[in-house]
Amino acid sequence: MQQVKNLLYICFVLSQISFSQVREVKELDVNWKFQKGNLENAYQVNFDDSKWETVTVPHDWAIKGPFDKKVDIQTTAIVQNGEKVATEKTGRTGALPHVGSAWYRNKFVLSEYEKNKKIILLFEGAMSEPKVYLNGKKVGEWAYGYSYFYFDISELIKDGENTLAVKLNNEEFASRWYPGAGLYRKVSVIVKNKESINQWGTFITTPFISKDLAKINIKTKASGNNTNLLTTIYDAAGNEVNSNNSEIKFGNEFDQNIKVENPKLWSPESPYLYTAVSKLFVGNDLKDEITTRFGIREIKYEAKKGFSLNGEVRKFKGVCLHHDLGPLGTAINKAALRRQLTILKDMGCDAIRSSHNMPSLEQLELCDEMGFLFLAESFDEWAKPKVKNGYNRFFDEYAEKDIVNLVQATRNHPSIIMWSAGNEVPDQWGDEGVKRAKWIQDIFHREDPTRPVTVGMDQVKAVMESGFGALLDIPGLNYRVHLYEEAFKKFPQGFILGSETASTVSSRGIYKFPVEKASMKQYDDFQSSSYDLEYCSWSNLPDDDFVLQDDKPWVIGEFVWTGFDYLGEPTPYDEMWPSRSSYFGINDLGGLPKDRFYLYRSRWNTKEETLHILPHWNWKGREGEITPVFVYTSYDSAELFVNGKSMGIQKKNSSTPQNRYRLMWMDVKYEPGTVKVVALDKEGKPIATKEIHTAGKPYKIVLNPDRKIIKADGKDLSYVEVSVVDKNGISCPTATNQLKFKVSGKGEYKAACNGDATSLELFHLPTMKLFSGKLVVLVQSLKEAGDIKLTITGKGLKTAHVVINSIE
């Protein structure tokens, strides 16, 4: 393992698995019967479920609400936030009805079923504690709601109709955020021959890379005697690159080495993917075939230099993401994930941390395709609890099994460049925690010797003294910017990762006066100011992390808390009602960018220029009062004008972290009209301009879909941004009109979200108020192609329509 700590290489990737006619993969997505409640005998074949709700999977049973303070009310002190006195907390897990038991039932027939086949039942996530039954008999159970797991059901399957029943149970006080509820990720049945490649049995690495040649090592575990394995590599255009046929197994594993000449390397800027097709034969008979996408890339972590990808030193420009998708809840949806990543890509983000749980396979596939480095996390708890009924209950029995499944299911993804064994675990204290950390890290190393392991550590003083931080491959610090220098001196690795940074809070389009830095600031409307100067008691402002990233070569990057708002954890209002979702996001719960988006974009997006003004300029009643203007820009200086009068030139400087990264005019007095900023080049000449205007009364609705063409698969989504403008077409930033939505044609209304953390309006109902002048509406396709028409109305507003085309 010393080799892993000192110099870590990685190059490879798996993503998708597709199958030939020798195996059948049946996704169980439709015709599920669902009923909440702790029901007896619901696992039996002849149980009457005719009156149960019919749902599709992935499914989150709790997202339709209603929001209720009683769901997650608790009296506790949040230790990791530094609290010492217990107080009443509300909305901590989203105030949605996720607690309790529920059953899912599905009847299916396998078209390729034959006796003597091997049949696997695969769950990619079930929240939580699933107990699985097939044809009236118990198949098995699992504990962790974020884990992928599977069962061999070969002996229980039968010809004709099979009855699958799954019982799930969510305990109260089992999570620190909204965990979701139900079969929220895919369920599949895999039918293959006895002689076949094992589930997650392929491991692709690249032990050697040069400009002219890459060596691809493919280890493949397979069952059956007298087998041989033919593996062929194809480039992204489908052209054959090279192949290898092997008849020798070491135990049950083939070990093949295949060269790729003039390899094209994977990176966020050029996410090139190869494909390996593995065919298992007995004699001349094809018994199994799988397709594995992978990338060729090399990573290193070195003292003083830090992190490098394909020989180039770089720093992670990353964000943390919880697993919920806002108004969709936790039910996985690839279109929603793609939209998130598209927004982050525009910001210049190049890395994702799955917080604080195992990522969906769809998210990893998209990160491979779109080019994101990935920090794959496992647990929020080890043996010591943060919450009464958290993962601590299962740690001793399940931790190793969960890590094995995480690594084996995902280790071929080129995007993954690091594993995280935990987040702010209370086990950071004491000798027992050090031993536990080593035990867990050793499991990761055993399953994947090519990637390093980190833990998000918040008890920095403790881990410096105990050795906990020193034994990890990558020392990850959550906040504690004042301790970076000391940690760097004491830790032996020679670098520090900002595994969780900032925790700045804001509400989109909401601005508070006076404008000043503040910790845990609260207001009567339960919102936080979008001047981006408010943070939490344990955290800091973005600029403090920017200084470390820019000035300390041994700081290898950051993962900001968080890329998007999420359900639950409404700090600094976790003692207030109604507050049911976070304020941490760079983007709001509906995916609309806050001002902070442009602060990060001005640093991270090095290909496109950024010029953004805040606040809005509708301040009736503040005439003549100080209303500071901030500009987030990639330019170093700019001149500000209010109604044509110059407010002076500001230039970025190092007097404070804020002055270094923002342009701020602190003495501007409000008067209605036009605010104009003129960015200046290095010679002081105008190079770009931006204006905002005072708006009149809301006049008409404006619709802007992110995609006008979607797939007719019953799953694809178009996110339609909804805003209102005045008679002159100027956006109305303070509008709160109640709107109604109607979808006709070959689609359906799915949900809406306005990004207001205090709103108790339900996402799935076709009406919602604007928040700060905007909201988003989600339109979902049917399984039939054709036009989808969205109509939005509001009292006193000119109606708006948009047509989205759904295609085969």
Are 258 and 328 in a shared domain?
Answer: no
Tokens of 295: 């990338």
Whose tokens are 């909401």? That residue is 510
Is residue 559 classed as helix, strand or coil in its secondary structure?
strand
Stretch (H or E) spanning 620: none
Are 464 and 565 in a shared domain?
Answer: yes
Q: Indicate the residue among 635, 666, 693 that finishes a domain.
A: 693
Tokens of 556: 């290898």
Instruction: Tell me the C-alpha distance between 286 and 195, whole Å.
Output: 10
**508 within domain boundaries:** no
* 504 CA to centre of own chain: 18
Torsion of CA 44, 50, 55, 58, to 10 degrees: 10
Half-sphere exposure of 47 (CA within 13 A, CB side): 24
Evaluate the CA torsion angle 660, 662, 663, 666 in order and state its sign: negative
**305 within domain boundaries:** no
Burial of 372 by CB count in 10 Å (0-12 exposed, 13-18 middle, 19+ buried)?
buried
For 248-266, write each residue's pLDDT tens digit.
999 999 999 999 999 999 9
Are 376 and 489 in a shared domain?
Answer: yes
**803 within domain boundaries:** yes
pLDDT score recorded for residue 79: 74
Instruction: Tell me the C-alpha distance between 762 and 758, whole Å.
Output: 12
Active site positions, annotated = 424, 500
Evaluate the CA torsion angle 256, 403, 464, 423 in order and state its sign: positive
Are 685 and 706 in a shared domain?
Answer: no
Torsion of CA 761, 767, 769, 771, to 10 degrees: 80
pLDDT score recorded for residue 115: 83
Are 394 and 481 in a shared domain?
Answer: yes
Stretch (H or E) spanning 461: helix 460-466
Instruction: Tell me the C-alpha distance between 90 and 554, whole Å.
Output: 40
Are 382 and 238 in a shared domain?
Answer: no
Instruction: Tell me the C-alpha distance between 150 and 190, whole Å.
Output: 10
Are 568 and 681 in a shared domain?
Answer: no
CATH number, domain of 445, equals 3.20.20.80
CATH number, domain of 160, equals 2.60.120.260
**680 within domain boundaries:** yes
Half-sphere exposure of 7 (CA within 13 A, CB side): 3
Q: Annotate 281-317 with DSSP letters as a single string.
A: EETTEEEEEEEEEE----EEEETTTEEEETTEE--EE
**592 within domain boundaries:** no
Cis check for the bond before 66: say yes or no (omega within 30 of 0). yes
The phi and psi torsions of 661 (rounded to 5 degrees) equal -120, -5
Are 188 and 199 in a shared domain?
Answer: no
* Distance set, CA 658 to CA 546, 548, 600, 616 (Å): 10, 13, 13, 20
pLDDT score recorded for residue 80: 66
Is residue 521 classed as helix, strand or coil in its secondary structure?
coil
Note the pTM of the prediction, 2 decimals: 0.95
Instruction: Tell me the C-alpha distance between 169 and 38, whole Å.
Output: 9
Are 557 and 644 in a shared domain?
Answer: no
Q: Indicate the residue among 163, 192, 221 that finishes a domain.
A: 192
Are 747 and 634 in a shared domain?
Answer: no
Tokens of 191: 């039918």
The boundaries of the domain holding residue 552 are 318-503+538-584
pLDDT score recorded for residue 116: 87
* Count of structural domains, the chain: 5
For 52-90, write each residue's pLDDT tens digit.
999 999 999 999 999 999 998 888 887 766 777 888 878
Amino acid 415 reads S
**447 within domain boundaries:** yes
Whose tokens are 């965990």? That residue is 179
CATH number, domain of 644, equals 2.60.40.10
Instruction: Tell me the C-alpha distance between 303 and 290, whole Å.
Output: 39
Q: Annotate 646-698 with DSSP letters as a single string.
A: EEEEEE--SSSHHHHH-EEETTPBP-SSEEEEEEE-TTS-EEEEEEEE---S-
**312 within domain boundaries:** no
Are 249 and 164 in a shared domain?
Answer: no
Whose tokens are 């802007």? That residue is 704
- Looking at 501-641, list the stretches that DSSP marks H as alpha helix, in order from N- to C-terminal side: 542-551, 595-604
* Distance set, CA 582 to CA 94, 181, 388, 503, 563 (Å): 9, 19, 22, 10, 11
**398 within domain boundaries:** yes
- Strand residues in 29-117 grouped as ranges (E): 32-36, 53-55, 74-76, 87-89, 100-109
CA angle 779, 780, 781 (to 5 degrees): 130
Are 405 and 428 in a shared domain?
Answer: yes
Length of the chain: 808
- Hey, how many other C-beta atoms are within 10 angstroms of the C-beta on 685? 9
Q: Which residues of the chain have pLDDT under 70?
A: 1-20, 80-81
